[in-house]
Amino acid sequence: MSPSPTDAPPALADPTDGVAVLEPRAGTAAYGIPLAVLAELTHRCPLQCPYCSNPLELERAGAELTTAEWQRVMSELAELGVLQLHLSGGEPTARRDLVELVRHANRVGLYTNLITSAVLLDRNALAALADAGLCHIQISFQGSVPDAADRVAGLNGAHAKKIAAARLARDLDLPLTVNAVIHRQNIDQLPDIIDMAVDLDADRLEVANVQYYGWALKNRAALMPTPAQVETAVAIVEAARERLAGTLVIDHVIPDYYAVRPKKCMGGWGRQFFNISPSGKILPCHAAETITGLHFDSVRGNRSIAWIWQHSEALNRFRGTDWMPEPCQSCAYREIDYGGCRCQAFALTGDAANTDPACTLSPLHERLFATAEHEATEGTADFVYRNFSGGTAAGGGRRR
Amino acid sequence: MTPARPRRIRVNGDTRPQLPRHARLRFDGTRQAWVLLVPERVLAPDDIAVDILKLCDGARRVDDIVDTLAAKYAAPRATIDADVVALLQDLADKGFVVAARDTAE
């Protein structure tokens, strides 16, 4: 998912349209009032996607925050000035108290977005969520070809259930985003995926190329598309945007290994967004625990969330630009992309403060590009599936 | 099976605009500013946009909204009309404004 929150105060509206996207003002403080929070309600999930964004070490059900704890957290978030709450996981609908949590979030004024695989949702469950005030639902798809999609999800029948749930959601007038996670083994389905989103009456389609952390990094050789595939996909999305203007909004996230500039990860570390893990740890993003040596505060401690947001050692570690070594420190883009992604820098260079190798200014960029290109053409099609025992290898059919 | 939903609405004087469920206009006390909450984004409407959006209740027609604002701002009706239609059309294209149907919902 790609929340795009920013810190306050609101930027001046664009005089041509009167409604500007809230963006942080350049050169202001290193962080502001967080606009959005990703609540990972649980790491339990009936799917086993090999690119799961959860950490390799999943948190067990017994460690999860209780209903009352999440409700207290939501009230604190609203008081702090958070406006949007993304309910995610794992699979958030695996929480039996989800309706109660949505109702509470709505009551305290948070805009709720459910990020779900939808395989556990039937009409009653969806109707209850809609009644509780759910504002928007985002359903992930593994492709448009049922068998191939089910193989990626590691669950037979998953695709058909998603299609059914998406139609039910629209029947209930819930606005729908189709989130299509894209990689080498399904990128050629993109035209069909776009048609599927239109057929499902989705408002938005996210064409989200896999980002390579945790499970996805483990499966990178099976997932990385070729540069030619990525180029074709860009052209397909551009044509579809034009054709479907006013019907379907398409957001496209390309794999950053092939980018020139790194992504402005999370809008900047600890700048406008944070993540809460199932057990209550406050993280700058869902992958931050992959960086060793950082201490993350928990909502279960005796500090308020507002205190943690201001004083957390982990959040302050990479805020602003003072921490940057060269080539970032003197770079003209340092406040544009904040040096890219800290988790990727750590995973690929061993030092989270290094320039993200996705950036062409990183000494490692060329090697990274070559590795990606090599894996895209020579890599296996076999996946290591995500689960609580650290991953299960399973045959995945032909090499391609 | 695909539910019929008005797409690509053309905003004109008779349109009765309203905000759909996923677009919520509210005053944010922390930031002391109006915000329009939509999926994955927070929009910051300017004062005029807020005035327009507050009148999008599904009952008033665009012409009524223009009349109200022309009186409030003591501005030429044609200018206000152009601004209101442009703003609402832009938001409608993005799915953040819909037209109320004729029949009671």
Q: ipTM for the complex? A: 0.84
- The answer to whether the CB of A274 falls within 8 A of the CB of A37 is yes
Residue A20 phi, psi dihedral angles, 5° rounding: -100, 150
CB-closest option in A18, A245, A246 to B45: A18
Beta bridge partners of A113: A86, A136
pLDDT of residue B100: 87
pLDDT of residue B40: 83
B54 interfaces chain A, CB cutoff of 8 Å: no
A328 half-sphere exposure, CB direction, 13 A CA radius: 27
pLDDT of residue B35: 95
B22 interfaces chain A, CB cutoff of 8 Å: yes
3-state percent helix, strand, coil for chain A, nearest multiple of 5:
35, 15, 50
The encoded tokens of residue B49 equal 């946009």
**What's the CA gap between A346 and A335, in Å, rounded?**
20
Show pLDDT as tens, one digit a residue, over chain A (400 residues).
333 333 333 333 333 456 666 655 444 567 888 999 999 999 999 999 999 988 888 999 999 999 999 999 999 999 999 999 999 999 999 999 999 999 999 999 999 999 999 999 999 999 999 999 999 999 999 999 999 999 999 999 999 999 999 999 999 989 999 999 999 999 999 999 999 999 999 999 999 999 998 899 999 999 999 999 999 999 999 999 999 987 888 999 888 888 888 988 888 999 989 999 999 999 999 899 989 999 999 999 999 999 999 999 999 999 999 999 999 999 999 999 999 999 999 999 999 999 999 999 999 999 999 999 999 999 889 999 998 888 887 644 443 3
pLDDT of residue A89: 93
| Mean local confidence (pLDDT), B28-42 | 91
Q: How far is B39 from chain A (nearest CA, A)?
A: 7
pLDDT of residue B95: 83
Q: How far is A293 from chain B (nearest CA, A)?
A: 31
pLDDT of residue A14: 37
pLDDT of residue A3: 35
Strands of B24-28's sheet in order across: A19-21, B41-45, B33-38, B24-28
Contact B2 A199 (CB under 8 A): yes
Is residue A269 classed as helix, strand or coil in its secondary structure? coil
**What's the CA gap between A27 and A255, in Å, rounded?**
28
Is residue A89 classed as helix, strand or coil in its secondary structure? coil
pLDDT of residue A16: 40
Q: How far is A135 from chain B (nearest CA, A)?
A: 5
- The DSSP H or E segment spanning A223 is helix A220-223
Which positions ≥6 away from A69 have C-beta within 8 Å?
A280, A299, A300
B31 interfaces chain A, CB cutoff of 8 Å: yes
**What's the CA gap between A40 and A49, in Å, rounded?**
16
Number of Cβ within 10 Å of residue A17's Cβ equals 15
Question: How many A/B residue pairs have CB atoms within 8 Å?
Answer: 116
The crossing angle, in degrees rounded to 10, of helices B62-73 and B77-93 is 130
**Tens digits of per-residue pLDDT, B75-92?**
899 999 999 999 999 998
Contacts of A135 in chain B (CB under 8 A): 21-22, 24, 37, 39
Q: What's the per-residue H, E or C state across chain B?
A: CCCCCCCCCCCCCCCCEECCCCCEEEEECCCCEEEEEECCEEEEECHHHHHHHHCCECCCCHHHHHHHHHHHHCCCHHHHHHHHHHHHHHHHHCCCCEECCCCCC
Closest residue by Cα to residue B29 from A31, A87, A8: A8
Is pLDDT larger for residue A186 or for residue B100? A186
Beta bridge partners of A209: A182
- The answer to whether the CB of A257 falls within 8 A of the CB of A224 is yes
- Residue for token pair 């108290």: A97
CA dihedral of B54, B56, B60, B62, whole degrees rounded to 10: 110
Is residue A224 classed as helix, strand or coil in its secondary structure? coil
pLDDT of residue A20: 67
- The answer to whether the CB of A128 falls within 8 A of the CB of A164 is no
Which positions ≥6 away from A156 have C-beta within 8 Å?
A150
Contacts of A19 in chain B (CB under 8 A): 36, 43-46, 49, 87, 90-91
pLDDT of residue A11: 35
Contact B5 A201 (CB under 8 A): yes
Q: Tell me which DSSP letter residue A85 carries.
A: E
* Interface residue of B2, B7, B8, B31 to substitute, partner A, most A CBs within 10 Å: B31
CB-closest option in B7, B40, B93 to A3: B40
**What's the CA gap between B1 and A151, in Å, rounded?**
27
Contacts of A108 in chain B (CB under 8 A): none
pLDDT of residue A247: 84
